[in-house]
Each structure stands twice: as C-alpha cells, then as structure tokens.
C-alpha cells in the first residue's frame, strides 16, 4: 500500500518518510486508503516517550499523502535473534524495560498498538523503539469480528476477533519476550499447517512454553495468561523490570547489557546504514540538496518509483522541506513500515564490511526457514534450504578485514577470492580444521554478510595459507558487487 523513503531535512535531520502508492488502475490514492492513513497519522501523533519513533510531520491531505517519522538506524529484534540467537535473562530485562515504557506511553495516550512483535521493535544502542501504528486503534473505539495483527504474537481474544484492549498488547509483549528468550513464538507448532489452523491455535490459546529459561517465568508467564483481566498492566511490569535494572545502576546501553555478538551487530548495522545514507546523498544530490515539491495532479503521478535508482516523488507541506536520499526496497503490506535502507545496497567504494562472519553449520532443512530450526538461521536462495548455524564461540568467527579481494572466473561460474589478515588467518585455519572433523552437513561453513547467507561450502580438510574462495551462482556483475562489499577497490 505504500513505500518508505529515507530523507534529510535542510537542518540535516534524517527521517523516514512513508507515502501511499496510487492505485495502479485509477492513478490516485483511494478515499479509503487516505482515511486509513490519516487515522494512522493521528494515532501516531498521540504517542510520546523516548521508546517510540516520534512523528516529525505529515500531510494526509496531500496529493501524495505522507508522514515523516524519526529514522532509527538499528536492526529489529527479529533480525538480531535470527543472526545472533536468543538472549540471556539479564539482557532480556533491559530490553523489556524499554518495551514496557513504550507501552506505558501508548496506553497513557488512550491507544492500543495491536501489532507488537519482534520485527516491529528496533534496537539502537540506547534501548528499543516500538514502531508502526498502522493498525493501532483508540481504546475508546469498539471493534468486533475483525482480526488484526500477527497471529504468532497476537492475544487469543485478538485472534478470535473480539475487542482488543491494553491487556492484548501485554500478551503480545509477553509473546515477544518469549521469542527473545527461546527463538520461537509461544504458540504450539507456530508456522506449521495452514493459516487457518494457526489462527485456530491462537484463538484457543494453545501455548507451548517449554524451553523458557529459569528466572523469566515471573516476568513472561503472567503476560501470557488466557484471561485478559488477570494479565499485569504495563505500569506493574515497569515496576518489576525496573527493580532488576536497579541492581546494576552503572549499566546503561547495549554494551553493558547485551552479549558481545548483539552489541557488535547493533554497532555495525548503525555504521553501515550511516555509510549508505552518505553514499546515497552523494549519488542523488552530489552538489546540492533538491527541495521536494508537490507534483502536479496528473495521471503520470501513478508512476511512483519502483527501485532505489529512481528519483522519489516530490512532496510539499507548508513549513516542511525534506531532501530525499534513498528509497527503501520493497512494498508495505498490512500497514507495516520498512525502517531500513535497501538490504545489500550500494557500498561505498573501497569500504570494508565489518559484519562478515563465518560459522559451522549445525542443521540444514529443505525450504524456507521456519520455527522447525532454532535460530540463528539463514535461507539459501541457491540451494532452496535453511541453514542453522552454531552459536558456540569456538565454532564461529567475525572477520575484522579482508585483503586482496578480487573476482575470478572459474569452471562453473564467477567466484570471489580473498585473503585474511594474520590473526583471522589462524582462526580460519582452526575453523576449517574443526569443520573437517565433522560429518555432513556439520562440515559446512556458513559465510554470512549482515543478514545474508552468501555461501555454505563443505570442508573436507583444513585450509591453511589464509585465503578462501567464495563460489555460488554468481554472474560477473553480482560477483563484482559482492567483492566491493567485502572490500575490493
């Protein structure tokens, strides 16, 4: 239904600008979509607090309706669990505190979010941010016979189409915390069976709470109580998690509370996004920022940009001037907002990606990744399979920097060659030696860049010499692009 752009104000503030796409047949935004968008803007403006993404400005009456919000260059909780694995209890309480404080702000404004889930919570260094009010509702609006939200994290009454309340958000919060602790939804067999079967299990409150670490029962289980009236309020939860945080008064941000892998991933994500913003600004407006203005109301307005390489539509509202830097990839569905630049976007020439890591593979399952395999998991487009990688420190390594990165044409296609620096070369040799001692499929090494699985070759013997080759279904162009991401000049 829409698209999100990254933009800069004349004062240099970076914001995310959500717009509605015109109907492809009519060439205009429908009245129903415009009303829905205006309602989203109005509800989002009612929410304050440090743990939500605030609205900067908006114009739902513009020919192209738009809303600008704070841009948060941080990964979602879902991305972090998938790539880094579940959280220990102490770290989980820190994230829970920020999420609960966001709920307090939302409920104090008389709203119910209705779609709290790991992908709607971003995690920068200073604490979580709850985003996307696309299906929120005012608490004084009664809705029945309509199911909204994501089934895996929705409260049973929400799945049944009954009125949703602040207690429904508390259940979704508990389900999200359960996911952080275990890597899966609390509902039994989530992701299996038809959508209707999953909806029925949620409506019946069919939970499977096995695997919840000791010490988290008192926080999470009350939130998942079937009776909404017996669930704790957001204020009560804030008192509970606040007492845990008070035991470590000197601990502040992610580096104090989170495992090293999580805090490093957050830092690298933010750095990469900042570099991509700068690169996009240089590409689109190298000399001067272009002021965005309202386009004329013609049939050509329907041809909104479909790729990051195209100029975005021009927007205007009295007192607001935004400079668009880069379009985010992908369309929005169900009112969701993409708060990210294009995955795998253009890298700054000569830049070294600092989020490259190698890990031994534990399991491989055919098809896309589901809850059948525990996180971290990565899907291979080439092999049409899901790879579960090891979380043990001795079975993985982060690559500080590659050198001598270049492409080469092999017998079956293009590949990338690269060398490790001294310390990484030794760790790579140790990792390949460990892999060679394991049976298939555990003798595979996953090569992961950010949140993408690049390749997962099998290793039959130790590889010394500090060099590796990455092969796959690469064309010349895709191999060159990947090589640049890895540090090629």
- What backbone torsions phi and psi does residue 7 show, to the nearest 5 degrees? -145, 160
Angstrom CA distances, 216 to 180, 242, 301, stand at: 11, 14, 52
d(CA 324, CA 10): 11
- What backbone torsions phi and psi does residue 438 show, to the nearest 5 degrees? -105, 155
Contact 371, 430 (CB under 8 A): no
- What backbone torsions phi and psi does residue 160 show, to the nearest 5 degrees? -85, -5
Q: Which 8-state DSSP code applies to residue 153?
A: G
State the alpha helices, DSSP H only, in 134-220: 156-159, 166-182, 195-203, 217-220
Q: Is 115 a catalytic residue?
A: yes
Contact 72, 124 (CB under 8 A): yes
Greatest distance between any 2 Cα atoms in the chain: 68
Place of tokens 């060679």: 436
The DSSP result for 111-136, as a single string, is EE-----GGGEE--TT--EE---TT-
Catalytic residue among 57, 59, 115, 169: 115
Angstrom CA distances, 10 to 14, 16, 424, 451, stand at: 10, 14, 43, 32
Contact 129, 161 (CB under 8 A): no
Q: Residue 331 is inside which H or E element, if any?
A: none
Q: Which 8-state DSSP code applies to residue 473?
A: E
d(CA 346, CA 192): 36
- What backbone torsions phi and psi does residue 457 show, to the nearest 5 degrees? -75, 150
User: Would you please indicate which residues are annotated as catalytic (active-site) residues?
Assistant: 115
């Amino acid at each position: 239904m829409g698209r999100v752009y990254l933009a800069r104000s004349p004062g240099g503030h970076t914001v995310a600008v959500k717009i509605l796409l015109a109907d492809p047949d009519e060439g205009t935004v429908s009245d129903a979509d415009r009303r829905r968008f205006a309602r989203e803007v109005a509800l989002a403006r009612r929410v304050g607090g440090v743990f939500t993404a605030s609205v900067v400005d908006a114009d739902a009456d513009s020919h192209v309706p738009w809303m600008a919000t704070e841009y948060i260059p941080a990964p979602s909780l879902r991305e972090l669990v998938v790539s880094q694995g579940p959280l220990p209890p102490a770290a989980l309480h820190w994230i829970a505190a920020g999420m609960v404080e966001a709920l307090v702000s939302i409920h104090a404004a008389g709203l119910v979010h209705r779609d709290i889930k790991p992908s709607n919570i971003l995690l920068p260094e200073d604490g979580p941010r709850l985003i996307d009010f696309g299906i929120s509702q005012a608490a004084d609006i009664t809705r029945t016979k309509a199911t909204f939200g994501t089934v895996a994290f929705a409260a049973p009454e929400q799945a049944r189409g009954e009125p949703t309340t602040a207690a429904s958000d508390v259940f979704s919060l508990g389900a999200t915390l359960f996911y952080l602790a275990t890597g899966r939804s609390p509902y039994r067999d989530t992701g299996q069976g038809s959508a209707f079967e999953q909806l029925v299990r949620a409506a019946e409150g069919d939970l499977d709470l096995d695997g919840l670490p000791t010490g988290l029962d008192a926080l999470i289980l009350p939130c998942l109580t079937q009776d909404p009236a017996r669930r704790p309020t957001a204020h009560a939860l804030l008192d509970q998690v606040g007492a845990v945080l008070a035991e470590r008064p000197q601990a502040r941000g992610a580096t104090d509370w989170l495992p090293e892998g999580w805090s490093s991933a957050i830092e690298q994500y933010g750095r990469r996004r900042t570099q991509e913003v700068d690169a996009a600004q240089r590409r689109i407006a190298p000399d001067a920022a272009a002021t965005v203005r309202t386009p004329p109301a013609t049939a050509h307005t329907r041809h909104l940009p479909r790729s990051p390489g195209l100029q975005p539509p021009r927007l205007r509202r009295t007192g607001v001037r935004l400079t668009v830097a880069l379009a985010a990839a992908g369309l929005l569905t169900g009112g969701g907002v993409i708060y990210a630049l294009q995955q795998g976007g253009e890298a700054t020439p000569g830049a070294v990606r600092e989020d490259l890591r190698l890990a031994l593979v534990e399991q491989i399952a055919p098809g896309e990744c589901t809850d059948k395999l525990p996180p971290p998991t990565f899907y291979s487009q080439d092999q049409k399979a899901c790879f579960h990688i090891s979380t043990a420190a001795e079975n993985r390594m982060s690559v500080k920097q590659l050198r001598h990165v270049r492409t080469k044409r092999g017998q079956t296609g293009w590949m990338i060659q690269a060398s490790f620096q001294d310390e990484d070369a030794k760790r790579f040799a140790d990792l390949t030696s460990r892999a060679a001692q394991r049976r298939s499929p555990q003798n595979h090494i996953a090569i992961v860049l950010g949140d993408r699985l690049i390749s997962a070759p099998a290793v039959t013997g130790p590889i010394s010499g500090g060099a590796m080759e990455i092969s796959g279904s690469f064309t010349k162009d895709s191999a060159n692009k990947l090589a640049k991401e890895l540090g090629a000049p």
